[in-house]
Amino acid sequence: MGMAEGGGDASAAASEMKLEFTPTWIVAAVCSLIVFISLVVERLLHRLGKVLKRKNQKPLFEALQKVKEELMLLGFISLLLTVFQGAIQRICIPKGWTLHMLPCKKEEPDDAHGAAAEAHFQAAFSAGLFGGRRLLSESGSGAAHCLIKGKVPLLSLEAIHQLHIFIFVLAITHVAFSVLTILLGGAKIHQWKHWEDSIQKQITGDGTAPKQVTHVHQFEFIRDRFRGIGAISVIISWLHSFVKQFFGSVTKSDYTTMRLGFIMTHCKGNPKFDFHKYMIRALEADFKKVVGISWYLWVFVVIFMLLNVNGWHTYFWIAFIPLILLLALGTKLEHVITQLAQEVAEKHTAIEGDLVVKPSDDHFWFHRPQIVLYLIHFILFQNAFEIAFFFWIFTTYGYNSCIMDHVCFIVPRLVIGVTIQLLCSYSTLPLYAIVTQMGSYFKKAIFDEHVQEGLVGWAEKVKKRKGLRIGNGLATSDAQNETTRKVELPKMFVQTTPSMEEGRSGSTGEIASRPAT
């Protein structure tokens, strides 16, 4: 009788939690609060976007749009989880399937109390968890449906709810860490501005140094970077590059030499080209790629969650992946600078005038400087994943949870995470900003924004006009030759529109240099 009364009370409590039994003032108050918070966030983002547009910060404005896209994706994921949680609950699997690849070791009850414990767990599971925690849908129906068949639900509502929260925390943490990295790295790069200013003041005439012969080893850049010729020297240069990333990763002689190499290769006719301003614009343009979460990063999330098995300490070992990649990346970027010095020192004994290095894609992995940006993107995301997972477990299950793992595994993960964040911000990102300019191509940031838009618009109009003439049968060989001459300058932009990511140095270099100051 008592059990019947208890069941009746539980049923009444469950009924009272339905929307039709909830006071209207509670529903209205909760809805008002949610709508108010959403509108405040939306207005703040909108106001920030207007400020960036007013200050002509188009790359940062595009990055903000990328953040909005990520928030929209999160909303869509939330909607899918909410709509389909009932369907997921009704997917039943044998109980034996749930005993493998567990994040925590399940304690098996002994035979004497096994049946009673299991019955008690099932009753609490369906009446307590699913009856007391609705989570936006009918609760307990999926569990009862599976229990009748002697099976268990594929995923409980509690698990769906926690998964929902984790995805949101991961995305927010990644965006926050990316912004923090760009802010700290940008602050480091802005310290180089006084180098640019001092160089600009020293430039006179055509910007070239007096034609005096200087021994190659008298240049500070060569003394700091060149380690000799031979197998032993190669090993020493790599070790030097590894250590160099931790202190003084870029010196004034490095900046001056790479700046001159870029100008002499891509815009020789403009010695007063503001290399620092160009570098900042290029970094801001790359930021919108770093702040997003690409599809392949979501694949890594799924793989990492799959491998989170009790006893494997997966997240401890995974924490070393971004650290190793970051150290390898920093070493490689430092070694690119060393290779520039090596090329000059091996070919010349003395140099007349300035020391000029030659940028080339051959210095980078697979001859693609863009790979560096993808690696930084992955490193930042993986580090954000580690930190987000830690705080999610800590706030959800507590410090003593079995998912949290032992202290000897937790502390190193946190130390590695902080180390990666600081090293990437103050060393690797500034290195990326300047060293990737030593490729065979220049980036579209070499042009001012209005020039970029003008060239793209001009190229599109010429392309469209040419297509209309050919379609109407009015094109002649003379007209085609004239059009070809007109399109000669922005040809590369037509081929890469709308992205207009890069341009090759050469005939366009001197023209490109004029609007890029």
CA distance 87 to 78: 15
SS (H, E, C) 80-101: HHHHHHHHHHCCEECHHHHHCC
CA distance 428 to 425: 6
CA distance 297 to 317: 18
Query: Residue 168: which residues within 8 A CB-CB, separation 6 or more?
Result: 74, 78
- Is residue 507 classed exposed, middle or buried when 0-12, 13-18 and 19+ CB atoms within 10 A define those classes? exposed
Q: Which helix (H) or strand (E) holds 315?
A: helix 314-318
Query: Residue 116: which residues within 8 A CB-CB, separation 6 or more?
Result: none
Pairing of strands 152-153, 213-215: unpaired
Domain spans of the chain?
Answer: 19-103+141-155, 174-446
Going by C-alpha positions, the residue among 82, 72, 106, 71 that lies closest to residue 163 is 82
309 three-state secondary structure: coil
CA distance 268 to 257: 14
Q: What is the pLDDT along the chain (517 residues), one digit of tens a residue?
A: 444 444 445 444 444 567 777 788 888 898 899 889 888 988 888 888 888 878 777 767 777 787 787 778 877 888 888 888 878 888 888 888 878 788 777 665 544 444 444 444 344 343 333 343 444 444 456 677 788 888 888 888 888 888 888 888 888 888 888 888 888 888 888 889 889 888 888 876 655 555 666 777 778 888 888 777 767 888 888 998 899 888 878 888 889 889 888 988 888 778 888 888 888 888 887 887 777 777 888 888 888 888 888 778 888 888 899 999 999 999 999 999 988 888 888 877 667 677 888 888 888 988 888 899 899 989 988 888 888 888 888 888 777 777 777 777 888 888 998 999 899 988 999 999 899 888 888 777 776 654 555 556 666 677 777 766 665 554 444 444 444 444 444 444 334 444 444 555 544 444 343 443 3
Number of Cβ within a 10 Å radius of residue 347: 10
